[in-house]
Each structure stands twice: as structure tokens, then as C-alpha cells.
Structure 1
């Protein structure tokens, strides 16, 4: 039975961290190493982690200065002893068979990686969305050309994306160590996970996707769609520019579709309930968004290939700078 490492970055989550850790300690798969990386928490999170590490030999805690989620994961990877590793966010929780299912996917199909779906839960734990994938096996060049491509976003004419998040995925530490794969900072990119994926899946040779949704992803007041991100437009443009340089032309349309998914979130957060802005301030923010050079370039290119009506209308509104309609 292989040792599995679970890395949990922790930052100011005293309300949720106990439930998260308990869900990992109660896994049916027992050969686990749980690494809690306290990323400079200012609440009681670090103290809670320390108490668990002093009580359970399977739990280790590292305290470090605050540098963000990506670098906290790198800190855990540097000391991981498991043959495989998975990541759990500290405000989320796992069902008891999460690790067992991921390991079974790897062992039964002789894979280096296994991917599962998830449930989105509210702050109080109520399920409000389920993402479950059809079971599939990807081998050889299909891992990067077909599986990773779907992590960039859906094709223009259908919904076939696989979430690029690194939680509920089990990775090979041999691949990570051999190719020195690390996370960038999410303070630079809107998503550090897709950067990681763009490196890891170059070297993965055999990936099993399982029809499990044993990971519970919690939406909290600090989540992306619930909290105003002042520099969000800049981040999605930086990410787009970075990924364009990493992928081949056949994947660009997926990236462009995802760009507009992110842009829709960017616009939605201007809602006064989130941004706390006045109407005139919101209109100015929308004007800034539609006048952005990257936004206009992507809209011009992506409009040519869109087949779905709602997408086409949205992109046209952005491209033609229909500020008041977007505001409404």
C-alpha cells in the first residue's frame, strides 16, 4: 500500500480547518501523510494545526510567512514522502473514500494520475452543485492533446471542460520531482492551477478520470465570486498572455472561451452588492474593461468561431463596447 501525501495550505480558516482535517483523518485509506502548511495565519488556524500534529503521527505542520496558496503548496511538496500527492484546500472537506477512490483509479488502470469530480457546497455544508465526469482513460499524447486541452476550457460548440483545479487529483511525485514542477503565485495569475497543469500533463503518460465527486468545495465569503478583486482584469489578461505562449494553436479557442468565462465573473463582481460602487463608478469600470486591448483582441478573434447564441451575444456586446447594456 503506497504512502499518499495530502498537502493542505492553511490561512485564516479557523472556522473550517477542524472539519477539513477530521475529514482527512477519517479516510478509509490509512497510509497517509497529511502536511498542513500554515501560511502565516493571524487567527487560531496555526495553533489548531499544531494541536493536530502533536496528537496524530500522520499529521505534520509547517509554519511559514505568508506568500500565498501556490508557494504554500510548494513548501509541502519539498518535504513530501508519498509516492503520490493530492491537494486539499483548508476550507473544503473530503468524503471518507476520497483517497481510496483516487488510489484505486491509479492502481487498477496502472496510471500515474487520477482525476475526480466534486460537489460545490455552501458555507454551512449544503450541496448546491455537482460536477461528475464520465469515466475515461487517457494515454500517451492524448493526455496533453485531449485531456489537458479540456482543462483550458470548453470547445466553442459544446460543454466538455474538465476543471483545472488541483484538488481531487492524485499526482505522481516521481514526475513532479523529475521535472521540478512547482506552482507559481496566484498573486500574479488568476489561476496558478492551470499553469501547474500546463507543465505536469506534458510528462504524464496515463491518466484515469473517475466518476467520483467525493471532494466538497466550499463557497465562502472570501471566495472569488463573493469578494471584490480590484486587479482581476489585469490577472485574467496576464494569465491569457502566459497561456498563449504555452499552448499550440489548436487549443487557443478553448482558452479564448475560458477567457470570456473569467471576464463574465470580472463584470459580475462590479455589481454594487459586491463592489460597493456607485452606478457611475460601475459604468467607468465596465468602460475600462471593454476598452482593454487584450479584451478587444480576444473578442475580435473569438467572435468568428462562436456557435452558441448566448456566447455570441455576450462577446458582441463586449467587442462593440455596449457599456450600458452590459451594466443592465
Structure 2
């Protein structure tokens, strides 16, 4: 009988972890599955464990090949697979029990070509957020596409997904022999799909190994590994340039946010070898000038130092980032034409080191933080209090304006400042009559030529703050007694 879902699992020297992985697959609440295990020439006890599972559970099938890498192993598994749907799991990871039921269920409901879900990072037995995926699944949506939901650029792994088998074959998807074989395939699938289902549930536990051989991702600062990563980046960029050029800037920005960190780490470890610096220049040449120019200011400083071979200075900035990331400040300079700069290492030495001012320019990174801490009824009016500040700017905001808005009307409030960051205002309910019932608080702040706006957030719930007048009706309002 043909299974509903085939899960392909490449296996190579994962003896400490494979049992937990296979148990998680056997425990799936979607039981109409087959698990195709592909032994990629393991030299430890991994194959024996896989054989035992195949002997105990008829849904598990074991095939083997000489060591060729995870890409060819997955391709062999796909050829063996019989299911209507296709999924992948790495043999050192864990799949939550409901994962495939949720993903297959979404595809059965919508008819989309692939479904994807959130990822947890398994570190020393504790499940954390995956920093690679954390922004991708905050707002799940069915029947979408990467060109509409460009945050899916961050979703470049193959194992947090289920694919329709006919879609996979129709598009001719296949893995290369490189060690980052999944990144080009994940991006190709997203672009070539007619529609994609995103679910917010965590459907995969991605392990950081603590014993045995280091994983590919844990050896990512090795020179050969960096060359392989560059090859994957080139493959994705070439595909996007042809099929979805509107995604190139977003992909380049992700490379500058995530991938280039491993190049920095390698330079720190070897104090800047010639081959590494040559590779660094090749990396930078691959990326668009726009992505390089619009990177955050601290990253632009790192890139400038890298481009000019200033490795010791780069190492100092990297140490600053590790120890001061939450404490970095943005400072104003100039009186008639004020600009705002990151107060990073070498900022005060930039003239001597010939670092252009625009490298430190942080104006576009500033954001307004406004929180409502309390809102109380006095018998005649509501009195709210809270805080307003500019993120990373250690100075009082010069001027603050407040408005209540229901989407149609804006009602200005008189603001009273309290302390360095405090604000207070009174709300007369009669001024809101005929509107609402729900109002949001908009904040406008000025500081040395800088103007920022934001909606106030609830200081306790850390969500959007809304003011709802009790007893509201279209004919009038009843005040609290």
C-alpha cells in the first residue's frame, strides 16, 4: 500500500543521536508514513541502529551507498520514496509528534505545493528559538508565496517542510553534492511553488551537537566550509536573478546578517590569513552595492574594516559586539545639520583611520519606544502614564505629542513630562463621544532634528495598547461610577 508521506533521512556517523531521531519519527501522530533511511557509508554504529528500527517497524526502510554526502543521500532516498508527500529529516535532529499531521493537514486543506513551520534549536537538551527562523513564522499564513511574504527568504532549510511529491518532480528539484545542498533547493521550492502554507507551530527541533563529530553547521568557520557556503550563495543568487530578482536584496541582506559572521569568526581564529582575506573580497563582490550600503551601521563598520584588510581592528569590533551589543549608543553630532552616529570603536579615531562618516551613520536605525504603564479613572477623566524614549539614544526626548486614534478620528492629548523618560496625559471621555469604541495611542517625538512616530505599547503585555471606553454605545457613554 502506498504511504501518504515519505520521510527521507540521510545517516552518517550520528550514533549518539540517531535513536532519538528515529523514535520521534515512529511516534508521529500521522502514522501513514514511510521512513527511508539512507546510510551514507557510516563508520560508527549508526547503520546497526537503523537496521534495528527497520526490523522492528515495517514503515522504516534502509538503503545504503558509499560516503557521498547528504545531498546524494537525499536524492537516493527520494528515488526510493513512494509517498504522495515528501519530507526530510536529519538523523541528529528531532521531529515533534504533531509536526507531519499539521503540515500534511495544511496541504490537504489548501492544495498548496509545500507547507513549512517554525523551528526550535535543541541546545544541551533545552529547546530554544532558532535565530535563523525566528522572524519567519511570527505571522503564519496559508496560501501565500515568498514574493508576497518576503520574510520567507529566512526559511532556507528543507527539513521543516512537507512537499507535494508531484510538485517536487514537476520542478525537477534535486540536491547537489555540496555540504550546503539544502539552501538552493529550499529557495527554488519557495519560488517555484504556486502557493505555500506557513504554520506557526514548531515542527522541527534542530540540534546543536554536544558529543561525537561536529555537524556541518558547527564547522562553518573552516576555510573549505566557507568556500562551500559561497558556492551555495552563488547558486541561490543566480537562480533568483533569473526567476525572482525582486528577492535578491532581501537574500543579500540575510547573507550580511547571518552568513558573513562565519567569515568574521574564521578571521578572528587565524588572525587574518591571506586566503581568507581573498575569500572575503570574493564574498563582498558577490553582493549588491545596495545591500552593502544599507546594512546596519555596526555591520557596515565591520565590512569596511574587512574590505581594507584591517583585521586587528575588525577583531576589536567583534569583541565589542559580543560584550556590548545591548549597550551600544547612538550619539548626535552637529548643530545646524544634526546627524546620528553609532558610538562604536574607532568612531573618535575615524579621521585618522580614514573611515568615512557614513560608515557610522545610524539615523535610519533609530526607533521610538513608547509604553503605557497605567491608565486609571479619577471620577472625571482617565489618567495615563508611561515612558517614551529613543532606542539606543541616551538622552531625553526634546518634544512629545500624543493622539488617540480610532482609525477615523484623531484626538490630541496634552502631554506632561515626568522625569527623564516619563510622560502623562489626561483623557476626557466626552471628547471621544461618537467615535471608537477602541482607540490607540500614537506618539510623535522630536530630538535634535530627528522626528519619529510610533503606536504606544502596553507596558505589561508588551503588545499594542488599546483604550476602550466602558459603556460605549453609538448613542452615548456611561462613565464608571
Q: Normalized against structure 2, the TM-score is what?
A: 0.58
Residues 104 and 297 from structure 1, CA distance in 2 versus in 1: closer, same or farther, beyond 3 angstroms?
Answer: closer
State the 1:300 CA deviation.
4.8
Mean CA deviation greater in 130-139 or 166-175? 130-139
Over residues 18-73 of structure 1, what are the superposed CA-to-partner deviations in whole Å (9 max), with x where a residue is unaligned? 10000110111110101111110000101111111111110000111111111111
Aligned partners of 1:283 and 1:327 also within 8 Å: no
Show the 5 A alignment for 1:187-198.
187=179, 191-198=180-187
Distance 1:171 1:241 in 2: 24
Would you say the 8 A contact 1:5–1:81 is kept in 2? Answer: yes
**Displacement, 1:151?**
4.4
Greater relative contact order, per chain length (Cα 8 Å cut-off, separation 6+): 1
**Structure 1's 247 and 321: CA in aligned 2 closer, same or farther, altered over 3 A?**
same
Shift of 1:174: 0.5
Residue 176 of structure 2 is aligned to residue 184 of structure 1:
yes
Matches within 5 A, 1:145-164: 145-147=147-149, 149-152=150-153, 161=154, 163-164=155-156
| Residues 7, 73 of structure 1: 8 Å contact kept | yes
SS of 1:13 mapped into structure 2: coil
SS at match of 2:178: coil
Encode CA deviations 1:101-125: one digit per residue, 9 max, x unaligned: 1112112323221100111011x42
Following superposition of structure 1 onto structure 2, how do residues 19-98 of structure 1 map, counting pairs within 5 Å? 19-98=20-99
Greater CA drift, 254-263 or 8-17: 254-263
Q: SS at the partner of 1:214?
A: strand
Q: Distance in 2 between matches of 1:172 and 1:297?
A: 33
Work out the CA distance in 2 between the residues paired with 1:117 and 1:291. Answer: 32
Distance 2:305 2:291 in 1: 13
Structure 1 residues 214, 238: closer, same or farther in 2, change over 3 A?
closer
Structure holding more helix per residue: 1
Is the Cα–Cα contact under 8 Å of residues 136 and 210 in structure 1 kept in the other structure?
yes
Structure 1 residues 251, 203: CA separation in 2 closer, same or farther (over 3 Å shift)? Answer: closer
Q: Would you tell me which structure has more strand in proportion to its own residues? A: 2
5+ residue gaps in structure 2? Answer: 317-481
Hey, what does 1:309 align to over in structure 2? 297
Alignment check: 8 A CA contact 1:290 1:296 kept:
no
Partner of 1:155: none
Quote the Cα distance in structure 1 between the aligned partners of 2:234 and 2:125.
37
Equivalent-residue separation in structure 2 for 1:256 and 1:81 (angstroms): 37
Q: Which stretch shows the higher mean deviation, 15-24 or 257-266?
A: 257-266
Q: For 1:290 and 1:71, locate their aligned partners in 2 and report how far apart those are by CA, in whole Å.
A: 27
- Which position in structure 2 is the counterpart of 1:258? 254
Indicate the structure (1 or 2) with the bigger Cα radius of gyration: 2
Flag structure 1 segments of 5+ consecutive residues without an equivalent: 153-160, 273-280
Flag the 1:252–1:179 CA change in 2: closer, same or farther, 3 A. Answer: closer
In structure 2, how many angstroms separate the alpha carbons of the residues matched to 1:53 and 1:126?
Answer: 29
Distance, in Å, in 2 between the alignment partners of 1:321 and 1:172 is 48
Structure-2 change in CA distance of 1:136 and 1:151 (3 Å): closer
Residue of structure 2 equivalent to 1:268? 265
TM-score, normalization by structure 1: 0.83
CA contact (8 A) 2:6 2:86 kept: yes
CA distance in 2, matches of 1:287, 1:269: 8
Instruction: Give per-residue Cα distances to partners, 1:59-109, cap 9 Å, x unaligned.
Output: 000111111111111111001111101111100011111111111211232
The answer to whether the 8 Å contact 2:118/2:202 transfers is yes
Contact 1:5 1:32 in 2 (8 A): yes
Residue 299 of structure 1: CA displacement? Answer: 7.4
Does structure 2 conserve the Cα–Cα contact (< 8 Å) formed by 1:303 and 1:316? no
Return the alpha-carbon distance in structure 2 between the equivalents of residues 255 and 324 of structure 1.
Answer: 29
Root-mean-square deviation (CA), in Å?
2.4
Residue 225 of structure 1 deviates from its aligned partner by 5.1
Aligned to 1:128: 128
